[in-house]
Chain A
Amino acid sequence: MIYKKLLLAEGQQQIYARIEDDGKCYLTCTEDHPEFKEWVEAGNTPLPAEE
């Protein structure tokens, strides 16, 4: 499981897609999401957004 930044319009709150091992996204979140914060605190970095 990884998180990936989503490309957004300028000024919008950054959101992230959680990509599961099957390659699908079942959840998007803000940086306030507790599980996302735990993942980042564990030393992980979200993948950049695709242009």
Chain B
Amino acid sequence: MTLAISGTTGITLATQFDSASTFGFKNRIINGAMVIDQRNAGAIVTVNTVAAFYANDRFRLSGVASAGVFTGQQSTTAPANFVNSLKITTTTSATPASSDSYYIVQPIEGYNIADLGWGTANAKTVTLSFQVYSSLTGTFGGSMSNSAVNRSYPFTYSISVANTWTTISVTIAGDTSGTWLTDNGVGIRVYFGLGVGSTLSGTAGAWAGAQYISATSATSVISTSGATFYITGVQLEKGSTATTFDYRPYGTELALCQRYYYRTNGTANLPRLAAGFSVSTTVADFVFSLPVTMRTIPSALEQSGTATDYNLVYGGTNANCSSVPTIGTSNVGTVAFSYTVAAVMTLGQGVIARQNTNGYLGWSAEL
């Protein structure tokens, strides 16, 4: 490293410190070290259709209905200097049909890639790096694509030794064509293919005016029953060189995830979740301030599916809910929900919402 001090140009740091990607928050991927799993706390998620499944936060898993099945799970199998990974296991094998796709994807919000200038003559080069470990060897594939799914860049990477962590780096010249959102919509989708049919696979190493999720002839994890695939240390940064992983503080990473998903978890002592008031003898409304302003207004409320996991304190006593909590009119910073109990309350009565160990409330604003 060279430090040059000039009365004309000021202080200049040469070599690696001169890189635009050396300093904090260089990684555009959220939860790249796979440390956050708000939804499952390490439990297995089964992916058996085309839907939004999540194991580790921000990494969406998608499959095919009535075909191959795989699971996703936050794992403690990890390379040196990491503690977690995302583990994929094929439980029902299948050969992907031409339009089938099994994959991991992280959609990056447009605000977080706006400086890359994609879709303009000033598009910046990026480097995607990650570590993988698989029971399979071969040439694997992935891609990057835009929101409109009409621009994509398939890439390949090689795993030559089974069950050994391998560091991968892929450098991609920024796309000077197409539309790449720079708002709170999808900026860039980063895909890792687990088995992608021919229609959704393209030539590696070139931009295409089509939606490709992976590269042609890439290894299919879904095609081998019992196959495993682990990934962690996922980083997307500006520049043509992969630098060391941007290992952010846990609280920072959690807050970044909570812009897209937030969950309250109960405990055995029924912690108080929110204060509200009764709007009838059976229904109480609550407003809850989110710890992080969400990307957009959450339009769904997830819960455990069991009414008695939720409990209402009123008038010096309490009652379990008679139906599951329901979503109310919410905003990006505050969310509303309702509890329903038997006709025990008086109108306008102050109440407190609680949930037991199995109870949770989850709001999503995922891309």
Write the residues of chain A forming the contact surface with B, with a CB cutoff of 8 angstroms: 6, 9, 12-13, 15, 17, 20, 24-30, 32-36
By a CB distance below 8 angstroms, the chain B residues around A29 are 299-301, 327
- Shortest CB distance A47–B (Å): 16
**Residue B256 is within 8 A (CB to CB) of chain A in the complex:** no
By a CB distance below 8 angstroms, the chain A residues around B348 are none
Write the residues of chain B forming the contact surface with A, with a CB cutoff of 8 angstroms: 51-52, 279-280, 297, 299-306, 324-329
Q: Is there contact, CB below 8 Å, between B300 and A26?
A: no
Q: Is there contact, CB below 8 Å, between B305 and A33?
A: no
Q: Is there contact, CB below 8 Å, between A13 and B329?
A: yes
Q: Is there contact, CB below 8 Å, between A27 and B279?
A: no
Q: Is there contact, CB below 8 Å, between A15 and B326?
A: yes
By a CB distance below 8 angstroms, the chain A residues around B305 are 20, 24-26
By a CB distance below 8 angstroms, the chain A residues around B301 are 27-29
Considering the complex, give the chain B residue whose CB is closest to the CB of A34: B299
Given contacts A24-B305, A26-B304, A26-B305, A33 and B299 within 8 Å (CB-CB)? yes
Considering the complex, give the chain B residue whose CB is closest to the CB of A37: B299
Q: Which 9 A-B pairs have the closest CB atoms?
A: A29-B300, A33-B299, A24-B305, A32-B299, A26-B305, A28-B326, A33-B300, A28-B327, A30-B299
Complex Cα distance A34/B364, Å? 11
Complex Cα distance A12/B299, Å? 15
Complex Cα distance A24/B307, Å? 10
Considering the complex, give the chain A residue whose CB is closest to the CB of B326: A28
Q: Is there contact, CB below 8 Å, between B52 and A17?
A: no
- Shortest CB distance A38–B (Å): 10
